[in-house]
Amino acid sequence: MKQYWARHQGLNRWGVRTPLESSSDAAHERGVGLIFVWADKLVLDAGSLVFMRDDGTIQGAIAPGRWDAVFEAGPDDLPQPVETPR
């Protein structure tokens, strides 16, 4: 199980790229969608993304196969570099 922390200007915001199931024509053409989640910690567990508070409270989860990429989101919704331990 890998754990990641997002800290950007005192806020914790993750972007998740997902296959989009929507009736929106413009969204349907691209085939993917972005959702944004506020959480202190992201745990990658057996392919699931689990969003948690620092105290361990689960705020939400996304099942394997329902997401393509995850990133720390900056104020402009673009991915931000994240420092990871070696």
Can you give the pLDDT of all 86 residues of the chain as single tens digits?
Answer: 666 665 655 557 888 888 865 555 554 445 568 888 888 889 999 999 999 988 899 999 999 999 988 888 776 666 665 555 54
Q: Which 8-state DSSP code applies to residue 10?
A: T
d(CA 33, CA 27): 7
Tokens for 84, please give them: 């990871």
pTM above 0.95, yes or no: no
Residue with tokens 């806020």: 11
Non-local CB neighbours of 32 within 8 Å, separated by 6+ positions: 17, 18, 19, 20, 68
Non-local CB neighbours of 8 within 8 Å, separated by 6+ positions: 72, 73, 74, 75, 80
